[in-house]
Structure 1
Amino acid sequence: MTRLHARQQGFSLVEIMITLALGLLISGAIVQVLVSNSLTERLNRSIASTQESGRFIITRLRNELIMAGRYDPLSPTLNRDLDPVAEGAYVMNHPIVLPGDFAAFADVGSSQGAAGSNDRVAVAMVASSDCRGLKLGYGVNEEFYVVNEYFVEGTQLKCRGFDGRVLRGQKVAVGHDNHASVTLVDEVQSFQVLYGYTNNVLTGDNSARPVSYVTADQLAAIIANNGQVVAIRLAVLLKGDGEVSINNTPRFKLLNETAINPTEPRLFKQFETTITLRNVKNFMRSRKV
């Protein structure tokens, strides 16, 4: 009787070690892909947040600041509790509000931040509500003299609105809320403003083209010399959501300020725009040289 001996074979030690090594390589590659996807997702989220915030705030500021100096004394919706001719002359000659323009509210106005800190811009116009959407006691369909001020507090770009007649002491505040500010956008690293001014004597014509762009602290002397602001140039540096690892973080130069070199592991993006104040330009064009 023949005995059959079945020969049993298994994996050798070398084969097991090769299999483990290949498994480790594949696992490492999968982990690397997952980590890379996570970093990419965070970067994309940060880019999306800064783009969305930047587009929003630039559009918002453009739509509101472009109306500086607007005053139509013939408008059927204008509140006429005061003489519209006299008030219109004042508004059109003071489209950019400066600190001290209103004795009882001396802090309201456009100002230059010290040593590269954030600037502040304040504009006047006739509108149906202030920058917060408040009517300040006026009728639903009424327009009134509005002063809107934009500034940074902490890392938030905010605005607060005023009834211009209250600021000038011509009216007692109605619907007053202590001029509380509202936040327009978060994660603002820097907010800078320059003002393009014209002077019919310097330009030699009534083109109302900007002669130069200056900071807010130079405006009082320019306006006293028959100049007027006809354009506003804005620059905003925003910080994205969440930490992002970025090699060689770029430097950002906002308008006339010293370049900023962020040190945080975040994505930063700069937005700029120049706004022509068409109401003021038309007013300056009507002046004689």
Structure 2
Amino acid sequence: MRRFGRTLPSMHQQGFTIVELMISLTMGLLISAAVVQMMASNQVTDRLNRALASSQESGRFIINRLRSDLLMTGRYDPMDPNLNTLVDIADESAFVQNHPVVIPNDFVNNLGLGSVQAINGGNDTLVVGMQGVRDCRGYKLGYLDNEEFYVVNEYFVEDNKLKCRGFDGRVLRGQKVAAGNNGDAAFTLLDNVLNFQVLYGISANAGTNDNTGRPINYVTADQLSAERVLGSHVVAIRIALVVEGDGEAFIDPVPSFKLLNEPVYTPPGHSLYKMYETTVTLRNMKNFVRARKT
């Protein structure tokens, strides 16, 4: 209605009905729930990605580190000008090449030191020897910076940490007095290692006339003593381990893993776990076997 040039408000204008309000509120709640669900999903995905990235980074690191450490197992070069020669080099050369993988009772000054096959799927212990510049911790053990000596390295798991400890093989054999950091506290190589298993690839024994240096079988540490008696040599080391990723990822069901010759292993928690495995060919031992007289 127009009166005196002005438009009066309509008497029929209305607000929202209660039905419209309820529909609007319901739609708002649905949208809010969807946003919350998306945020929660993004957080779960982020935690999973972080756990996956950390486990992959840890796995790559430890495999590369162990391969680098173990590759020189059994190495001994009497002609190396940097080799410290204060002991009988010919005797030491024979000992190192015939004991590339150390087992208990190899050393008079530490009869318990050696590679061990754990029972009931427990973590194995690996001990190897070689001519080197430093032990696995980076210690010189009293030798000069440019000197090489008989290095013995031990790898084991303690409190879910893969650790290493280094020794002077000459001290272990009773040929000299310990110096520097020989046999001191172990260094942690990697945290969150839940399982550590080792197998040893052995060559054919001396009586077979097989001097190829190829591994014909993989055995556990408790079988190495008998293989030595037969004239076999360790020419490869196979390692498998399970690493737990960082973060709060929750995995259900928990995956199980088959590590080498061991029974199926199921981790105790619901984190993200990954298994890594590698085989290290001991080229120095292969060459030693190939040069063996038949």
Which category of TM-score, normalised to the shorter sequence, fits these structures? over 0.9
The DSSP-based 3-state class of the residue aligned with 1:103 is: coil
Give the structure with higher Rg (CA).
Answer: 2
How far, CA to CA, are the matches of 1:153 and 1:241 in structure 2? Answer: 18
1:287 to 273, 277, 292: 292
4+ long deviations beyond 6 Å? none
Q: TM-score by structure 1 length? A: 0.96
Q: Which residue of 1 aligns with 2:204?
A: 199
Change in CA separation of 1:263 and 1:165 when aligned onto 2, cut-off 3 Å = closer
1:242 to 236, 247, 266: 247
Q: Is the 8 A contact 1:156 1:188 kept in 2?
A: yes
Q: Do structure 1's residue 181 and structure 2's residue 190 form an aligned pair?
A: no
Q: Which residue of 2 aligns with 1:63?
A: 68
How far, CA to CA, are the matches of 1:95 and 1:144 in structure 2? Answer: 14
Change in CA separation of 1:202 and 1:20 when aligned onto 2, cut-off 3 Å = farther
| RMSD of equivalent CA atoms | 1.6
The DSSP-based 3-state class of the residue aligned with 2:109 is: helix
Give % identity: 57
Where do 1:89-238 residues align within 5 Å?
89-176=94-181, 178-201=183-206, 203-238=208-243
Q: Is the 8 A contact 2:167 2:183 kept in 1?
A: no
Range with bigger deviation, 50-59 or 78-87: 78-87
Q: Is the 8 A contact 1:243 1:265 kept in 2?
A: no
Q: Is the 8 A contact 1:203 1:211 kept in 2?
A: no
Report the CA distance between 1:28 and its aligned residue.
0.7
Q: Which residue of 2 aligns with 1:21?
A: 26
How far, CA to CA, are the matches of 1:41 and 1:193 in structure 2? Answer: 34
The DSSP-based 3-state class of the residue aligned with 2:157 is: strand
Change in CA separation of 1:209 and 1:120 when aligned onto 2, cut-off 3 Å = same
How far, CA to CA, are the matches of 1:133 and 1:203 in structure 2? Answer: 40
Q: Which residue of 2 aligns with 1:274?
A: 279
Q: Is the 8 A contact 2:171 2:177 kept in 1?
A: yes
Change in CA separation of 1:263 and 1:145 when aligned onto 2, cut-off 3 Å = closer
How far, CA to CA, are the matches of 1:29 and 1:283 in structure 2? Answer: 67
Q: Is the 8 A contact 1:196 1:211 kept in 2?
A: yes
Q: Which residue of 2 aligns with 1:35?
A: 40
Gaps (5+ residues) in structure 2?
Answer: none
Report the CA distance between 1:211 and its aligned residue.
1.6
Q: Is the 8 A contact 1:197 1:231 kept in 2?
A: yes
Q: Do structure 1's residue 77 and structure 2's residue 109 form an aligned pair?
A: no
Q: Is the 8 A contact 2:240 2:278 kept in 1?
A: yes
Change in CA separation of 1:263 and 1:97 when aligned onto 2, cut-off 3 Å = closer
The DSSP-based 3-state class of the residue aligned with 2:120 is: helix
CA deviations 1:95-118 (Å, max 9, x no partner) are 110011112211211000111000
Letter in 2 for 1:132: R
CA deviations 1:60-108 (Å, max 9, x no partner) are 0001111000011111111111122221111111111001111221121
Change in CA separation of 1:179 and 1:5 when aligned onto 2, cut-off 3 Å = closer
Report the CA distance between 1:25 and its aligned residue.
0.7
CA deviations 1:118-141 (Å, max 9, x no partner) are 000000001110000000010011
Q: TM-score by structure 2 length? A: 0.94
Report the CA distance between 1:288 and its aligned residue.
2.2
Change in CA separation of 1:196 and 1:5 when aligned onto 2, cut-off 3 Å = closer
Letter in 2 for 1:112: Q
Report the CA distance between 1:241 and its aligned residue.
1.3
How far, CA to CA, are the matches of 2:107 and 2:137 in structure 1? Answer: 21
Gaps (5+ residues) in structure 1?
Answer: none
How far, CA to CA, are the matches of 1:168 and 1:21 in structure 2? Answer: 81
Q: Is the 8 A contact 1:68 1:95 kept in 2?
A: yes
